[in-house]
C-alpha cells in the first residue's frame, strides 16, 4: 500500500523547520548578547584593576584602618627611611639595645609634615605607612633573611620637602600660632609645610597625653590642611574673579567713592579701622583692599553664578590633597540674606577655608589657571637605593580661564606695588605678587588673623607661598614679611 504525503503534512514540516530556525537564531542572539555582557564586564573589571593599581592602591594599602596588617609587617620588616628631596634623612629606625627606635633628626621642624606613626599616625608616616613597611630588595636577599630570622629593610621614601625652605618658614613664623605652605606651581610639589604650635615626634609616646589634652594650643592640629579660618581680604581674589566673569567690560571702567563704609538696606560694611580710601577703580580697590568697594561689587553679583565660581574653585568640594584636610565653605544659598552674601564677598561671615586650599587657588592663578595636584612623595627606593616607583606631576584641571588668571596676577602685583603688600617691594632678583588679608574672628573687631598668599617671580611664576598668623593683626604688616623670607630663601636656592 502506498501512502501519499498530503500537502498539509508538507506544510507542517516546513513550518516546523522555520520555527526551529527561528528558535536557533533567537538562542544564538541570546548567547551572543550574554557573551557581549560578560566580555564587557570582564573588560570593566580589568580596567578597574589597572586603575586601582595605578591610582588607588597606595591610598587603600596605606589606609590607617589596616593597622593589624601593619603590625604583622612590622614584625618582619624594619620601617624604611623618609628623606628630603636632596636625600637628607627626616625619619629613620635605629636599633638601641635590641629595641627599634624611630628617630627624627630634625626634631620639631617636620612635626606635622613628616609626622609620626604611633598613637595613630600623621603626615608622610601615615600616607606612606605600608610603603615604608614593604621591602623591594632582591628576592634572594629577602628569602635568605627570612630563613635566618633577620628582618628585611623597608623601602625608603623621598619627599618633595626642601629643608632650607622648611627652616626659613619655621624661623619666620617663630613661636606664633599659624601655618606656612610653599608649593611649586608647575609640578604641585609641596616644598615646605609648617604648622605652629608643634611638638617633637620622637617623643610622641612620652608627651602624647599632654599634647592631646592641650585644647588651647592644639599642637597636634596640622593648621595648613585642617585649620579652618575666615579668609578676610584674600577672598577678594574670588570676588574679583566673579566680577570679571559677569562684567568683563567693566574691568577698566569700574569706579567707587569710599567714605569708609558701605550701606545697603540694613547692611553696613566698614573698611579696616574705618579708613577712607576716596575715589577708586578696580585695581586700586583690590590693591588697597577696600571693604566698602568690594561690598559694593558683591551686592551687584548674581548669587547663583557666584556660588558656581566658588564650587569651581573647590569650595564645599574634595581637594586633591595628599594629606587629610577639612573642606572649605562659603554660604551663598538662594535663601542667604544679603548681609551674609556681602560679608562673604569680603571673606568674612560664615566663609571659612584652609591654608592649603588658598595655596591651591593661588598656585592655579600663577600657573595660567591650571592647578597641579599637590604631591609630597617623589620616589620610592629599596634599601639598596634602586628606584621602585617614581611619581610624576599630575594636572588636576583648569580652575580659572587663562585670560582671567592673567588679570588676577596683574591685580596681585598691584597689591605689592601700590597697596597693602608693600613689604614685598625691593626684593633682590625677583618680583613678587600676592594678596594680604586681615580676618576678623571674634566680636573684638580689633583682633584679626594675618593672611598673605602670593607667588614669585611675577613675570614667570614658579613658587606660591601662603601664610596665616593667628590673631597677629594685618596681613601686610605680619604675614607678608614671613612670605618674603620664604621667597628670598627660594630665590637664593634656585640661583
pLDDT in tens, 93-110: 999 888 899 999 999 999
Confidence of residue 146 (pLDDT cuts 50, 70, 90): confident
* pLDDT at residue 23 tops 90: no
**pLDDT mean over 195-223:** 96
Residues 6+ apart with CB under 8 A from 226: 324, 325, 326, 354
> Angle 181-480-453 (CA atoms, 0-180°, nearest 5)?
45
**Is 440 inside any structural domain?**
yes
**Is 157 inside any structural domain?**
no
pLDDT in tens, 268-303: 999 987 899 999 999 999 999 999 999 999 999 999
Write b or e for each residue in 326-360: b if 16 or more Cβ atoms lie within 10 A of its Cβ, otherwise e.
eebebbbeeebeeebbbbbbbbbbebbbbbbbbbb
**pLDDT mean over 454-465:** 98
Q: Mean pLDDT for the chain?
A: 90
Write b or e for each residue in 16-28: b if 16 or more Cβ atoms lie within 10 A of its Cβ, otherwise e.
eeeeeeeeeeeee
Count of the separate structural domains present in the chain: 2
Q: Are residues 194 and 206 in contact, defined by beta-carbon separation less than 8 angstroms? A: no
pLDDT in tens, 415-445: 999 999 999 999 999 999 999 999 988 777 7
Q: How far is CA 325 from CA 151, 349, 485, in A?
A: 35, 21, 26
**Is 134 inside any structural domain?**
no
**Is 95 inside any structural domain?**
no
pLDDT in tens, 175-190: 999 999 999 999 999 9
Strands (E), 275-430: 278-280, 370-372, 377-381, 387-390, 395-398
Lowest-confidence region among 56-70, 351-365, 429-443, 453-467: 56-70
Q: Using CB atoms within 10 A of its CB, is residue 121 exposed (0-12), middle (13-18) or buried (19+)?
A: middle
Number of helices and strands in the chain (H, E):
17, 19
**Is 77 inside any structural domain?**
no
Contacts of 210-219 with C-beta under 8 Å, sequence gap 24+, read 217/177
* pLDDT at residue 52 tops 50: no
**What's the pTM?**
0.86
**Is 406 inside any structural domain?**
yes
Written as nine digits, the cell of 225 is 590642611
Between 237 and 24, residue with greater pLDDT: 237
CB neighbourhood size of 65 (10 A): 7
Residue 77, H or E segment: strand 77-78
Question: Which of 30, 49, 68 is the last residue before a domain boundary?
Answer: 49
Say how many residues make up the chain: 495
* pLDDT at residue 60 tops 70: no
Q: How far is CA 311 from CA 238, 342, 371, in A?
A: 11, 18, 14
- Dist. CA 186–CA 282, nearest whole Å: 29
What domain range includes position 425? 226-374+394-494
Q: Residue 69 has what pLDDT?
A: 66
Give me the CATH number covering residue 359.
Answer: 3.40.710.10
* pLDDT at residue 64 tops 60: no
* pLDDT at residue 448 tops 60: yes
**Is 9 inside any structural domain?**
no
- Dist. CA 262–CA 90, nearest whole Å: 52
Between 62 and 461, residue with greater pLDDT: 461
Alpha-carbon torsion 58, 63, 69, 75, what sign? Answer: positive
**Is 161 inside any structural domain?**
no
Written as nine digits, the cell of 83 is 628623606
Q: How far is CA 303 from CA 145, 327, 346, in A?
A: 65, 21, 14
Amino acid at each position: 500500500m502506498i501512502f501519499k504525503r498530503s500537502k498539509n503534512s508538507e506544510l507542517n514540516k516546513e513550518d516546523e523547520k522555520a520555527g526551529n530556525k527561528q528558535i536557533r537564531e533567537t538562542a544564538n542572539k541570546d548567547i551572543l548578547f550574554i557573551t557581549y555582557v560578560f566580555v564587557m564586564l570582564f573588560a570593566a573589571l580589568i580596567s578597574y584593576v589597572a586603575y586601582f593599581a595605578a591610582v588607588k592602591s597606595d591610598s587603600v594599602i596605606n589606609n590607617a584602618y589596616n593597622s593589624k596588617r601593619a603590625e604583622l609587617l612590622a614584625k618582619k620588616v624594619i620601617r624604611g627611611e623618609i628623606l628630603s628631596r636632596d636625600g637628607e634623612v627626616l625619619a629613620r629606625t635605629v636599633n638601641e639595645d635590641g629595641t627599634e627606635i624611630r628617630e627624627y633628626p630634625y626634631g620639631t621642624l617636620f612635626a606635622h609634615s613628616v609626622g609620626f606613626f604611633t598613637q595613630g599616625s600623621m603626615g608622610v608616616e601615615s600616607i606612606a605607612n605600608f610603603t615604608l613597611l614593604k621591602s623591594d630588595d632582591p628576592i634572594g636577599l629577602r628569602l635568605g633573611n627570612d630563613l635566618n630570622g633577620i628582618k628585611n629593610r623597608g623601602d625608603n621614601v623621598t619627599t618633595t620637602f626642601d629643608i632650607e625652605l622648611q627652616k626659613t618658614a619655621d624661623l619666620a613664623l617663630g613661636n606664633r600660632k599659624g601655618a606656612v605652605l610653599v608649593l611649586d606651581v608647575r609640578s604641585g610639589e609641596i616644598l615646605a609645610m609648617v604648622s605652629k604650635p608643634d611638638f617633637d615626634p620622637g617623643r610622641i609616646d612620652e608627651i602624647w597625653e599632654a599634647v592631646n589634652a592641650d585644647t588651647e594650643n592644639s599642637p597636634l592640629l596640622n593648621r595648613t590642611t585642617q585649620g579652618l579660618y575666615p579668609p578676610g581680604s584674600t577672598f577678594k581674589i574670588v570676588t574679583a574673579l566673579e566680577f570679571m566673569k559677569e562684567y568683563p567690560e567693566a574691568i577698566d571702567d569700574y569706579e567707587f567713592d569710599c567714605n569708609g563704609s558701605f550701606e545697603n538696606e540694613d547692611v553696613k560694611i566698614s573698611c579696616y579701622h574705618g579708613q577712607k580710601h576716596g575715589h577708586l577703580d578696580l585695581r586700586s580697590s583690590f590693591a588697597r583692599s577696600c571693604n566698602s568697594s568690594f561690598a559694593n561689587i558683591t551686592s551687584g553679583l548674581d548669587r547663583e553664578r557666584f556660588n558656581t565660581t566658588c564650587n569651581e574653585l573647590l569650595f564645599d568640594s574634595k581637594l586633591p590633597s595628599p594629606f587629610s584636610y577639612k573642606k572649605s565653605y562659603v554660604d551663598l544659598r538662594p535663601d542667604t540674606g544679603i548681609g551674609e552674601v556681602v560679608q562673604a564677598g569680603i571673606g568674612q561671615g560664615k566663609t571659612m577655608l584652609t591654608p592649603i586650599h588658598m595655596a591651591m587657588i593661588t598656585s592655579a592663578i600663577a600657573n595660567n589657571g591650571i592647578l597641579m595636584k599637590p604631591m609630597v612623595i617623589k620616589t620610592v627606593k629599596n634599601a639598596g637605593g634602586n628606584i621602585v616607583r617614581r611619581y610624576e606631576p599630575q594636572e588636576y584641571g583648569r580652575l580659572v580661564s587663562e585670560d582671567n588668571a592673567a588679570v588676577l596676577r596683574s591685580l596681585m602685583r598691584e597689591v605689592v606695588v601700590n597697596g597693602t603688600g608693600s613689604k614685598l617691594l625691593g626684593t633682590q632678583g625677583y618680583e613678587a605678587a600676592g594678596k594680604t588679608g586681615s580676618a576678623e574672628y571674634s566680636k573684638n573687631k580689633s583682633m584679626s588673623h594675618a593672611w598673605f598668599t602670593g607667588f614669585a617671580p611675577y613675570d614667570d611664576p614658579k613658587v606660591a607661598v601662603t601664610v596665616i598668623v593667628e590673631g597677629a593683626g594685618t596681613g601686610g604688616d605680619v604675614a607678608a614679611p614671613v612670605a618674603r623670607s620664604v621667597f628670598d630663601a627660594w630665590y637664593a636656592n634656585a640661583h
